């Protein structure tokens, strides 16, 4: 029995694909906006 999810997907394979798509999209957004660079610099230099 599948648990209801916010994406409305019933199959675990479909849910896994959608989660991967969302994660990839968010990672690209963070990279393109320079947020990852800022976080890395803060971690290295304790800024």
The tens digit of pLDDT for each residue in 3-45 reads 667 888 888 899 899 999 999 999 999 989 988 888 888 888 8
pTM: 0.65
Question: What are the extents of the domains in the chain?
Answer: 22-47
Residue 19's pLDDT is 93
Return d(Cα 47, Cα 19) in angstroms, integer.
Answer: 32
What's the CA angle centered on 35, arms 43 and 42, to 5 degrees? 15
Is the pLDDT higher at 1 or at 29? 29
The structure tokens listed for 9 are: 């997907």
Residue 18's pLDDT is 92
Check: CB of residue 12 under 8 Å from CB of residue 2. Answer: yes
Residue 46's pLDDT is 81
């Amino acid at each position: 029995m599948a648990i209801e999810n916010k994406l409305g997907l019933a199959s675990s394979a479909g849910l896994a694909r959608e989660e991967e798509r969302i994660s990839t999209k968010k990672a690209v957004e963070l990279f393109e906006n320079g947020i990852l660079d800022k976080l890395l610099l803060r971690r290295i230099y304790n800024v």
